[in-house]
């Protein structure tokens, strides 16, 4: 699953999904700009756009299968990053006010 909502109500998106989507979007946009510059839509250009889309779908399926396999094995890097690191609770030391000496000086 790429997008989910945690109990706090925040929506989390995996970085790998964003990079994948942006990469395919840039490729498709550049190809579409090239078609617009030529002012012709031919069968090969539409076939290339279809191949780009099929490549995106295949990448999503492969990536999803790899992530589910990693979760079964427990080796997912993103799972490790999402888990909070437990740090020991250290109580701060009580510091004595530094102005005690000055108070005694002014009193005597």
Contacts of 28 (CB under 8 A, 6+ apart): 49, 52, 53
Looking at residue 67, its pLDDT comes to 85
Mean pLDDT by 10 residues, the chain (108 residues): 62 84 94 92 91 94 88 64 58 61 47
Quick one: pLDDT at residue 82?
Answer: 54
Yes or no: say if 28 and 52 are a contact pair by the CB < 8 Å rule.
Answer: yes
**Residue 44 CA to its chain's centroid (Å):** 35
* pLDDT value of residue 30: 94
Which pLDDT score, from 0 to 100, does residue 95 have?
A: 65
Beta strand 3-5 pairing with 11-13: antiparallel
């Amino acid at each position: 699953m790429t997008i989910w909502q945690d109990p706090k109500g925040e929506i989390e998106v995996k970085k790998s999904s964003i990079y994948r989507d942006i990469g395919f979007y840039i490729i498709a946009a550049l190809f579409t700009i090239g078609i617009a510059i030529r002012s012709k839509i031919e069968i090969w250009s539409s076939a290339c756009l279809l191949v780009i889309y099929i490549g995106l779908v295949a990448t999503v399926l492969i990536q999803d299968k790899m992530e589910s396999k990693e979760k079964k094995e427990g080796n997912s890097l993103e799972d490790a990053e999402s888990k909070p690191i437990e740090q020991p609770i250290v109580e701060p030391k009580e510091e004595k006010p530094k102005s005690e000496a000055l108070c005694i000086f002014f009193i005597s």
